[in-house]
A = this chain, B = another copy of it.
Amino acid sequence: MAGIKEIAKITGLSLATVSRVFNDSSLVSPKTKEKVLKAAKDLDYRPNIMAAALRSGKSKIIGVIVPEVNNYFFSGIINGIEKIVSDSGYNIIISQSHELQERENVALNSFLKLHVEGILMSISKETSDFSFIEKIGESKVPIVYFDRVPPLDGTSSVTLNDYMGGFMATKHLLDKNCKNLLHIAGNPRVSIFKERLKGFKDAILKSGRKGILSREIELTAHTKKDLKILKELFKSDPKIDGIFAYGDEIGLHVLNLLKDLDIDVPGKVKLIGFGNADFTKLTQPKISTIDQECSQMGELAAGLLIEKLKEVELKPQNKVLLPKLIKRDSTMIQ
């Protein structure tokens, strides 16, 4: 491995010229450039990013914070980010918050210490204190939020239209002739879950149909206790014939619960989830769901950030993606 110095010595050029070849090579004659590039190859030149970062003030590192990496949605986003970032010269470093505000702060701090140039982040379910945003603001590190965004103005973000997702899922159940709907809702403090619930309610209202019953139950943790409550609900109310779960995982739990109770899906009850997790294709019946195009979300978020990195004075932008209904067996007409 060699540095810029060795190349300068071998080629008889100055450090500056060699450096220029690897940066703004336009100011260098093609001949010189070629000579340098050849030497670089021969000597196995590897630029010292640390030195460059120190001098230029640019670390070429983008920090990404997701709640959990082992998750179809977030790993899809990461893949999208990788796709955009990889041929831009930036490196990405991923941290998980594990849905904990404290871990989120730790990650943020180590990003600032590492002098990342930009941050991509989806806030944890637990996060209620948004003062960290001020700190980031002071540090001038641009940040783009995706999917789960803070309830504040002036931020850049890429989100899904979760309201629309909830609306579509519910409309689908209504279209399949369900008359007694249940929404299993997530923590309403998380905006996306609140939006899904709103979509659920509106879809029923706007359907204009009479005689539709609906109710919601909030189920934030998927503990045994939670599931028991749900079980009791199913037992006590056998009229329920359409369920919209706020997430695929809880949807899977519901599916299993219904099987335990010998309630046929989709014969007796139709079920739709949210997220298009990979396992929804593998259950029996396959679970209908709402797709979030996670890769695209990652690509857009990364694109937004890189734009901002180039043009400091860029105004905050908010992109909203449209969800897609995925019809599968769990809502099929029998």
Interface residues of A (CB under 8 A from B): 1, 46-51, 53-54, 59, 68-72, 75-76, 78-79, 82, 86, 91-94, 96, 106, 110, 112-115, 138-139, 252-253, 256, 259, 278-279, 282-284
Contact = CB atoms under 8 A, between A and B. Distances in A.
Given A49-B114, A54-B54, A96-B82, A256 B279 contact: no
A47 B113 contact: yes
Contact of A50 (B59, B68, B278): B59
A79 B252 CA distance: 25
Contact of A91 (B114, B253, B259): B114
Contacts of A278: 70
A22 to B, nearest CB: 12
Nearest to A140: B1
Contacts of A59: 50
Given A51-B54, A70-B71, 6 more contacts: A48-B54, A54-B54, A78-B96, A91-B93, A94-B94, A253-B282
19 contacts: A1-B112, A48-B54, A49-B113, A50-B53, A50-B114, A69-B70, A69-B78, A70-B70, A70-B71, A82-B96, A86-B106, A91-B110, A91-B114, A93-B94, A253-B282, A256-B284, A259-B284, A279-B282, A283-B283
Contacts of A72: 70
Residue among A79, A114, A138, A282 having the largest count of chain B Cβ atoms under 10 Å:
A114
